[in-house]
């Protein structure tokens, strides 16, 4: 029996809990007798702590402890790395020595009875340093790029160098050429909910109510840091108020909360300030990319050279998929990619929605747009002309690829045929109007996951996975998968997530939750049904745990990616240079859409993120000491309601039996990926001015 709930636009099953305030987020889990902790960050960008005057602060009202590297316990910091941690380097060992590696690095924690007392103590704590000159600016003569260690092997997931054919000589011989540098600004994730951890010890057991997109790894990481068996740590996170990747890793504040709780022998709550979220919890790294395209006069790509450098910290090599898409988006015999890292005196960057792809595709899709103007060819025709039949980088077929179908659908909805090709040729009254397009792509990942399903005597079912829901609607989509598999109405299925003692799930990132956790939920439901078949009418709850992973055979045979086409229209004021997005249309081929309402909402959110990347978002660092000068929601611009015009997201029919049994590819990241280049290309079309750095602002288009 099937209830056909997959594919239905169900409203969120947790919507009511969220809007009525019943849903509890990490900082809501106040514990009896709880104290509050506030982190004090370094006020120099590099150097050593030479003095901490804890005495006066310890005497302040309510202050229980001032923890610094001098009195902090030496923690075991047993080796532990998950795939979301940088493969090379070592995580920051917090309060273990006097080194300051970046501005804002935690150098003390003040614990007090109330948050006000802790804040007061933190502000009053006097610390002295011997500062050194940090290297912050990528253009600094002393900033030297390195080959990423984990990219050196030829079979690396993110290879430092790849080549097919001979791209450089093809470039030299190419009759048509684009060869430019593109720059992506540092961005911070800035979710609404701040990072927060409530830590409580019971003997040698630790419970953390902590904002995390990866509760089982937070458990493993904290266990390693404190030298505990994993089962002694429990991480609980039922709801997340947005994350965009910033809580994939377990950052030092979680360690500090647990350390403080042990020190004062009370539960401790620690919430980061907005400002601290600008340097303690990762960011999209600044990147510099050279993108060179060679083509024949009739628009056949003869080569692509893509050389990208991303910033990282001095103590870890953060890598992202900056050059990956370049190897398979277009058909061309000659491709060379190079990926380097630039260690600077900053905190380690991390994944931010569309990590790597968003920045890499910006360069690639702007360059292809530039080429289209040089050739005098419609940018969609140029892409069609170079549409590959297979993944030429891996030399194997795509499990499915609907890019051209996406272009057809979105072009029609957008009204691309109304565009006149000449730059500066379209106007609305005084305003210059421009239309631009770009492709989007993101891998259809799938990681091993497991789930538990339980059938109860009253005819309802419970399903549990240690997954997360940072906003896409995991609660709802998994309920749909379980209901459909079990043949139950959705009201009879209760899906739970966000506890590390549930069956393990992969990180809630990389757009693989629907594929991975969804497949595990399906497998567990099938298993419990089978079990139920063995004990009909037992009257007792019947339970089964099952896990799932991608069919290795399919994984070996196919290249698996989602694709999309994004169209944007901007208006630029020719007098004062204001750039406003007027509308955007995206069409995506993402396999099966489990819930069109949630999928659309995901896409709109991603498009807004891409809009921020194109027009507003950047964290500006003072190169004298590495401090972010706009670490404030009034100064770090991201789109507000008045900026956001009509955004449309469409999905093309795409049946992909290879990716997984559900046929889903995931869409969290791809929705951000193509948006920024589509807007940049529209700005060129409007103004005739090519801006190759994000975000594109008034200053950049004022003069042509």
CB nearer to other proteins: give 206 or 621: 621
Contact between 152 and other proteins by CB under 8 A: the answer reads no
Contact between 78 and other proteins by CB under 8 A: the answer reads no
CA 483 to chain centroid: 29
> Cis (ω within 30 of 0) for the bond into 695?
yes
| Residue of the chain from 19, 172, 457, 629 that contacts other proteins (CB under 8 A) | 629
CB nearer to other proteins: give 355 or 639: 639
Dist CA 135 CA 439 (whole Å): 35
Give residues 515-544 in contact with other proteins (rule: CB under 8 A). none
Q: Can you list the alpha helix ranges (DSSP code H) found in 472-595?
A: 474-486, 513-534, 552-557
Strand-pair category, 205-210 with 233-236: parallel
Dist CA 476 CA 550 (whole Å): 23
The 3-state DSSP class for residue 582 equals strand
Dist CA 62 CA 94 (whole Å): 24
Contact between 702 and other proteins by CB under 8 A: the answer reads yes
Contact between 576 and other proteins by CB under 8 A: the answer reads yes
Cβ at position 48, least distance to other proteins in Å = 17
Which span (394-402, 489-497, 619-627, 673-681) binds other proteins, by CB under 8 A? Answer: 619-627
How would you list the strands of the sheet with 449-455, edge to edge? Answer: 493-496, 461-464, 449-455, 542-548
CA distances to 171, 455, 476, 603, 661 from 5, in Å: 52, 19, 11, 21, 16
Contact between 686 and other proteins by CB under 8 A: the answer reads no
Contact between 596 and other proteins by CB under 8 A: the answer reads no
Contact between 142 and other proteins by CB under 8 A: the answer reads no
CB nearer to other proteins: give 112 or 368: 112
Could you tell me where the beta strands, DSSP code E, fall in 323-405? 334-343
Cβ at position 359, least distance to other proteins in Å = 20
Rounded to a whole number of angstroms, the CA Rg of the chain reads 26
DSSP character at residue 669: T
Query: What are the φ and ψ backbone dihedral angles of 566, each rounded to 5 degrees?
Result: -120, 135
Contact between 59 and other proteins by CB under 8 A: the answer reads no
Cβ at position 266, least distance to other proteins in Å = 23
Contact between 627 and other proteins by CB under 8 A: the answer reads yes
Contact between 121 and other proteins by CB under 8 A: the answer reads no
The two structure tokens encoding residue 383 = 């892409």
Is residue 669 annotated as a catalytic residue, yes or no?
Answer: yes
| Residue of the chain from 119, 161, 387, 648 that contacts other proteins (CB under 8 A) | 119
- Cβ atoms of residues 562 and 588 within 8 Å: yes
CB nearer to other proteins: give 4 or 578: 578
Question: Please, which residues have CB within 8 angstroms of residue 212's CB and are 6 or more apart in sequence?
Answer: 218, 235, 237, 240, 247, 250, 468
Contact between 634 and other proteins by CB under 8 A: the answer reads yes
CB nearer to other proteins: give 137 or 543: 137
Contact between 139 and other proteins by CB under 8 A: the answer reads no
How would you list the strands of the sheet with 579-589, edge to edge? Answer: 426-428, 431-443, 561-572, 579-589, 646-651
Contact between 126 and other proteins by CB under 8 A: the answer reads no
Contact between 107 and other proteins by CB under 8 A: the answer reads no
DSSP character at residue 209: E
| Residue of the chain from 91, 120, 283, 336 that contacts other proteins (CB under 8 A) | 120
Dist CA 272 CA 274 (whole Å): 7
Cβ at position 561, least distance to other proteins in Å = 33
CA 679 to chain centroid: 20
- Cβ atoms of residues 58 and 70 within 8 Å: no
Cβ at position 207, least distance to other proteins in Å = 30
Contact between 616 and other proteins by CB under 8 A: the answer reads yes
**Would residue 60 be called left, alpha or beta, if left means φ above 0 and alpha means ψ between -120 and 50 degrees?**
beta
Contact between 637 and other proteins by CB under 8 A: the answer reads yes
Contact between 155 and other proteins by CB under 8 A: the answer reads no
The two structure tokens encoding residue 452 = 């538990």
Contact between 608 and other proteins by CB under 8 A: the answer reads no
Dist CA 263 CA 63 (whole Å): 13
Contact between 639 and other proteins by CB under 8 A: the answer reads yes
Contact between 655 and other proteins by CB under 8 A: the answer reads no
Contact between 331 and other proteins by CB under 8 A: the answer reads no
| Residue of the chain from 554, 620, 661, 693 that contacts other proteins (CB under 8 A) | 620
| Residue of the chain from 152, 205, 530, 624 that contacts other proteins (CB under 8 A) | 624
CB nearer to other proteins: give 121 or 436: 121
CB nearer to other proteins: give 17 or 620: 620
Q: How many angstroms separate the first and last alpha carbons of the chain?
A: 64
CB nearer to other proteins: give 100 or 170: 100
Dist CA 223 CA 76 (whole Å): 10
CA distances to 102, 166, 311, 355, 550 from 151, in Å: 25, 21, 15, 16, 24
Dist CA 512 CA 502 (whole Å): 18
| Residue of the chain from 329, 528, 579, 662 that contacts other proteins (CB under 8 A) | 579
> How many residues bind to other proteins according to rule CB under 8 A?
35
Contact between 667 and other proteins by CB under 8 A: the answer reads no
Cβ at position 41, least distance to other proteins in Å = 9
663-694: b (≥16 Cβ within 10 Å) or e: bbbbbbbbbbbbbbbbbbbbbbbbbbbbbbbb
User: Pattern of binders to other proteins over 392-431, x per CB under 8 A?
Assistant: ----------------------------------------
Contact between 137 and other proteins by CB under 8 A: the answer reads no
Contact between 22 and other proteins by CB under 8 A: the answer reads no
CB nearer to other proteins: give 158 or 644: 644
* Active-site residue (options: 58, 531, 669, 699): 669
Contact between 116 and other proteins by CB under 8 A: the answer reads yes
Give which of 97, 352, 328, 144 is closest to 247, Cα–Cα: 352
Which residues contact other proteins by CB under 8 A?
43, 116, 119-120, 123, 573, 575-580, 615-616, 620, 622, 624, 627, 629-630, 632, 634-635, 637, 639-643, 695, 697-699, 702-703
Q: Catalytic site residues? A: 669
């Amino acid at each position: 029996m099937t209830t056909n709930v997959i594919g239905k636009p169900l409203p969120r099953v947790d919507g009511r809990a969220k809007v009525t305030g019943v849903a509890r987020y990490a900082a809501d889990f106040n514990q009896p007798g709880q104290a509050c902790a506030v982190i004090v960050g370094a006020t120099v960008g590099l150097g050593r702590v030479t003095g901490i005057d804890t005495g006066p602060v310890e005497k302040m009202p309510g202050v229980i402890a001032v923890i610094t590297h001098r009195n902090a316990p030496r923690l075991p910091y047993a080796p532990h790395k998950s795939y979301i941690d940088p493969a090379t380097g070592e995580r920051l060992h917090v309060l273990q020595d006097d080194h300051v590696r970046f501005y804002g690095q935690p150098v003390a924690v003040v614990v007090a009875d109330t948050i006000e007392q802790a804040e007061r103590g933190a502000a009053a704590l006097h610390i002295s340093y011997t500062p050194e000159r940090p290297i912050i600016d990528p253009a600094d003569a002393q900033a030297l790029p390195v080959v990423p260690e984990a990219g050196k092997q030829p079979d690396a997931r993110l290879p430092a160098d790849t080549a097919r054919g001979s791209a450089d000589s093809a470039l030299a011989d190419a009759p048509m050429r684009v060869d430019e540098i593109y720059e992506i600004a540092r961005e911070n994730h800035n979710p609404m909910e701040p990072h927060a951890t409530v830590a409580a010890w019971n003997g040698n057991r630790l419970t953390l109510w902590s904002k995390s997109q990866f509760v089982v790894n937070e458990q493993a990481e904290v266990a390693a840091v404190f030298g505990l068996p994993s089962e002694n740590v429990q991480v609980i996170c039922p709801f997340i108020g947005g994350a965009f990747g910033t809580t994939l890793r377990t950052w030092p504040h979680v360690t500090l909360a647990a350390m403080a709780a042990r020190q004062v022998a009370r539960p401790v709550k620690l919430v980061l300030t907005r400002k601290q979220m600008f340097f303690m919890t990762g960011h999209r790294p600044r990147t510099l990319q050279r993108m060179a395209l060679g083509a024949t006069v009739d628009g056949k790509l003869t080569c692509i050279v893509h050389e990208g450098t991303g910033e990282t910290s001095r103590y870890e090599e953060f890598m992202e998929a900056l050059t990956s898409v370049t190897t398979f988006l277009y058909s061309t015999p000659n491709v060379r990619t190079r990926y380097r890292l630039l260690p600077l005196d900053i905190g380690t960057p991390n994944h931010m929605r569309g990590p790597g792809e968003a920045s890499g595709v910006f360069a690639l899709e702007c360059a292809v747009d530039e080429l289209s103007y040089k050739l005098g060819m419609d940018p969609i025709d140029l892409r069609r002309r170079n549409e590959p039949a297979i993944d030429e980088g891996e030399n194997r077929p795509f499990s499915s690829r609907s890019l051209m179908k996406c272009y057809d659908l979105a072009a029609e909805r957008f009204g691309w045929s109304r565009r006149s090709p000449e730059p500066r040729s379209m106007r609305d009254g005084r305003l210059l109007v421009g239309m631009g397009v770009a492709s989007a792509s993101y891998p259809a990942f799938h990681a091993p996951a497991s789930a538990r399903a339980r059938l109860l005597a009253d005819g309802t079912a419970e399903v549990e996975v240690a997954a997360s829901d940072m906003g896409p609607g995991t609660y709802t989509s998994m309920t749909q998968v379980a209901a459909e598999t079990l043949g139950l109405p959705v009201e009879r299925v209760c899906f739970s997530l966000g506890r590390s003692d549930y069956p393990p799930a992969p990180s809630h990132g990389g757009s693989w939750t629907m594929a991975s956790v969804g497949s595990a939920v399906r497998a567990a439901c099938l298993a419990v049904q089978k079990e139920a078949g063995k004990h009909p009418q037992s009257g007792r709850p019947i339970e089964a745990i099952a896990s799932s992973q991608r069919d290795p055979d399919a994984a070996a045979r196919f290249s698996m990616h989602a694709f999309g086409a994004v169209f944007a229209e901007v208006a630029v004021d020719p007098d004062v240079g204001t750039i406003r997005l007027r509308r955007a249309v995206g069409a995506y081929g993402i396999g099966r859409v489990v819930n069109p309402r949630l999928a659309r909402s995901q896409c709109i959110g991603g498009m807004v993120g891409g809009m921020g990347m194109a027009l507003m978002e950047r964290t500006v660092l003072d190169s004298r000491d590495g401090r972010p000068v706009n670490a404030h929601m009034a100064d770090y611009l991201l789109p507000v309601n008045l900026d956001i015009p009509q955004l449309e997201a469409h999905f093309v029919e795409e049946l992909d039996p290879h990716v997984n049994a559900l046929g889903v590819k995931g869409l969290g990241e791809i929705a951000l990926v193509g948006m920024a280049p589509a807007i940049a290309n529209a700005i060129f079309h409007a103004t005739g001015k090519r801006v190759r750095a994000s975000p594109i602002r008034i200053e950049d288009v004022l003069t042509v």
